[in-house]
Chains A and B, each alone.
Chain A
Amino acid sequence: MPLDKLYVDKHVAYIKSLGENKDDLTYHLTAHLRMNAIYWGLTALSIMKHKDALDRDEMIEYVMSCWDDEAGAFGPHPDHDPHILSTLSAIQILTMQDALYRVDVPRVVKFILSLQQPSGVFAGDSFGEIDTRFSYIAVNALSLLGHLHELDVDRTVQYILACKNYDGGFGNVIGAESHSGQVFVCVAALAILDRLDVIDEEMLGWWLAERQLPNGGLNGRPEKLEDVCYSFWVLSALATLKKIPWIDSDKLTAFILSAQDPENGGIADRPGDMVDVFHTHFGIAGLSLLGYPGLEDLDPVYCMPASLIEARGLRKGWEALPRRTAA
């Protein structure tokens, strides 16, 4: 089957099938990612205009079954410990399903704020792993919950800035090497906080543009292999800086499409590899930013349907490519 178009029906069927693999060992070994996986699946479906392919009530009940009443946060799976990663996914899912009213918002806000460290960075949970990913998650979640005003913005920005490297990119902690995934989270956090002024746009734009390899895919760091997930992270940051034209979007589109499994659906990290919901989500999210025909607009900052973010008055000044009409 030719790989020059998006197999929407196959991908919808693939995402729907994910919950039916309960006799599969891998399904259980990845239980710690279940909440994220639902967010990835739901967002991909929404962008493909098939949001209703998964049962709404069932999904909301699952999310609520992961609520940890002691911590005031969500785990990824019933009985798993609460974490900021699964808490953001839960909030994003409930936002997309218009069911945020189910959440005890003040308690979640308290949980998130309690994770901020004196340096300004956020920990992922009470065990204290720190990462600029968690700063982004905190900023994103507080913003969706309408409680950003409770955040110590200066301290948050200060730590992100301390992770900035001379190449314009960001690492996950102070001293760490720039990495596309961290660039995405840091740029998006700064965008939400209206502090893009601290970014060296020329330098970072250059670094991001140089992520594109001759086969069209983007890598996460210099002299590394291309990957669909990195492609999205780079693209999101470029969209936020209004610099998507700095790379070859046709080649990137072709690369993402070539990583599809045209028979059983799903998108892989690169052509010919095993698909998973994570890369399926980031592949479709990337295609949306590239103006691929027939898709919904994705907000690159929140990584959620753009219409939803706009309706909440949270849209920042990013620029995706205009939506093309099918040839």
Chain B
Amino acid sequence: MHGTRRTRETPEAIKARKEREQSKLKEYLSLTDHVMARKKSSDWSKEAFDATTKLLQINPEFYTVWNYRRNVMLNGLFMNSTPDIINDILSEDLSMTTAALKAHPKVYWIWNHRRWCLENVPEGPAGTQDWKKANWNRELAVVEKMLDADARNFHAWNYRRYVLANTPEQRPETAELAYTTRKIEANFSNFSAWHQRSKVYVSLWESGKLNKDKCIEAELELVKNAMYTDPNDQSAWLYHRWLIGDGQNHHILASEIAAIEELLEEQPDSKWCLESLVHYRRLLVRNHAMVIGKEESERILRQCIEFLQQLQTLDTPRKRRYQDILDRLSVAKQ
């Protein structure tokens, strides 16, 4: 159980609670038996469907019942229904699971059921996509509400990507960029939003819709903002590392090193400044040794060693990692 505080119950309190629970328990068990008996006899009736609604409202984790519910729809409710009735049933299930998600935002089975519902929405009247569009468009609003409630819910982010990829009315990907900007500006620590941003950019670059070099420049500005706001926040540093990548661009690498050095002057004990400088300077030496020359390379590596030693006292839990890098640097020097 996640995040439920422990309470000390006396034996009497436990007994009293169990007595109070008795009627609920009996009701739950008899409802379970009832649904399972119908399932066993391949009952695809509306009554069976309603019974699953009742049971799932008590226990949305009971995936067997979600499975049964879908089978009741496929083999029963849908069989003699016109497409508009099927659409109504599915839309209603989407509404029902919206309510369920509010109470249980991390239950995989509810999210799965929504996907199934969406994928089974029939074509609209006269072959139009109207019903599909209406249902899928509503999903984006639902998932945005879920992310307003918990901006790091990975179920919601995954679902968001799923909806964006499959919705019949595709939005321009730049709209998603704007969404992540909003999320990041609301909270720089939201790594989920930074992550999403990196994925959207890759897609936009690969399709040629945006110019990578120009984007990177603007992104470095945004992330610098975040780094200065809270130099201890990992999210921005991780994203920064993505922007730098393998450090092939000498100009960017050098100017970012200078920018972090500036921040380090303000925050001389910043672990993330030191750590990143070690990483980027090693990239500089590895990729651009020809440009910077032997002497400068050696000076930079000496600085790295100094910083790693400083990190070992600043960030003791990870001192062995810094030692491993130090060992590798001294082997390389020999």
- Residues in A neighbouring B116, C-beta threshold 8 A: 127
Whether a CB of chain A sits under 8 angstroms from the CB of B251 is: no
Given A29-B28, A248-B317, A269-B3, the answer on whether A179 and B154 have CB atoms closer than 8 Å is yes
**Which residue of chain A has its CB nearest to the CB of B320?**
A245
A261 to B5, CA, bound (A): 12
**Smallest CB–CB gap between A276 and chain B, Å?**
5
A222 to B241, CA, bound (A): 14
In the complex, are the beta carbons of A222 and B158 less than 8 A apart? no
Whether a CB of chain B sits under 8 angstroms from the CB of A20 is: no
In the complex, are the beta carbons of B63 and A32 less than 8 A apart? yes
Q: Which of B270-325 contact A (CB under 8 A)?
A: 316-318, 320-321, 324
Q: Which of B17-68 contact A (CB under 8 A)?
A: 18, 21-22, 24-25, 28-29, 32, 36, 39-40, 58-59, 61-64, 67
Whether a CB of chain A sits under 8 angstroms from the CB of B123 is: no
Whether a CB of chain B sits under 8 angstroms from the CB of A236 is: no
- Residues in A neighbouring B190, C-beta threshold 8 A: 223
A275 to B190, CA, bound (A): 29
In the complex, are the beta carbons of B108 and A129 less than 8 A apart? yes
**Smallest CB–CB gap between B314 and chain A, Å?**
13
Q: Which of A49-73 contact B (CB under 8 A)?
A: none
In the complex, are the beta carbons of A212 and B317 less than 8 A apart? yes
Interface size of A by CB at 8 A reads 52
Whether a CB of chain A sits under 8 angstroms from the CB of B136 is: no
A-B contact count (CB 8 A): 129
Whether a CB of chain A sits under 8 angstroms from the CB of B205 is: no
In the complex, are the beta carbons of B21 and A24 less than 8 A apart? yes
Whether a CB of chain B sits under 8 angstroms from the CB of A162 is: no
Among B6, B58, B317, contact of A275 (Cβ-Cβ < 8 Å): B6
In the complex, are the beta carbons of A80 and B238 less than 8 A apart? no
Given A32-B64, A223-B234, A261-B6, the answer on whether A209 and B28 have CB atoms closer than 8 Å is no
- Residues in A neighbouring B152, C-beta threshold 8 A: 221, 223-224
In the complex, are the beta carbons of B62 and A32 less than 8 A apart? yes
Whether a CB of chain A sits under 8 angstroms from the CB of B167 is: no
- Residues in A neighbouring B63, C-beta threshold 8 A: 32, 80-81, 83
Whether a CB of chain B sits under 8 angstroms from the CB of A97 is: no
Whether a CB of chain B sits under 8 angstroms from the CB of A268 is: yes
Against B, the Cβ 8 Å flags (1 = close, 0 = not) of A19-50 are 00001110011111100000000000000000
In the complex, are the beta carbons of B2 and A177 less than 8 A apart? no
- Residues in A neighbouring B7, C-beta threshold 8 A: 274
**Smallest CB–CB gap between B233 and chain A, Å?**
7
- Residues in A neighbouring B8, C-beta threshold 8 A: 263
Q: Which of B72-122 contact A (CB under 8 A)?
A: 108, 112, 116
Among B28, B58, B64, B161, contact of A75 (Cβ-Cβ < 8 Å): B64
In the complex, are the beta carbons of B112 and A175 less than 8 A apart? no
In the complex, are the beta carbons of B108 and A79 less than 8 A apart? no
Whether a CB of chain B sits under 8 angstroms from the CB of A176 is: yes
**Which residue of chain A has its CB nearest to the CB of B190?**
A223
Given A224-B152, A245-B320, the answer on whether A29 and B59 have CB atoms closer than 8 Å is yes
Question: What are 13 pairs between A and B in contact, CB < 8 Å?
Answer: A24-B18, A25-B28, A28-B29, A32-B64, A81-B67, A129-B112, A173-B158, A209-B318, A222-B234, A222-B235, A222-B238, A274-B6, A276-B1
- For the A-B complex with A25-B25, A25-B28, A28-B25 known, give 14 more contacts whose Cβ atoms are closer than 8 Å: A24-B18, A29-B58, A33-B61, A81-B64, A209-B321, A212-B318, A222-B191, A222-B234, A246-B320, A246-B324, A263-B8, A268-B1, A268-B6, A273-B3
Which residue numbers of B lie inside 8 Å of A, CB to CB?
Answer: 1-8, 18, 21-22, 24-25, 28-29, 32, 36, 39-40, 58-59, 61-64, 67, 70, 108, 112, 116, 152, 154, 157-158, 161, 189-192, 195-196, 198-199, 233-235, 238, 241-242, 245, 316-318, 320-321, 324
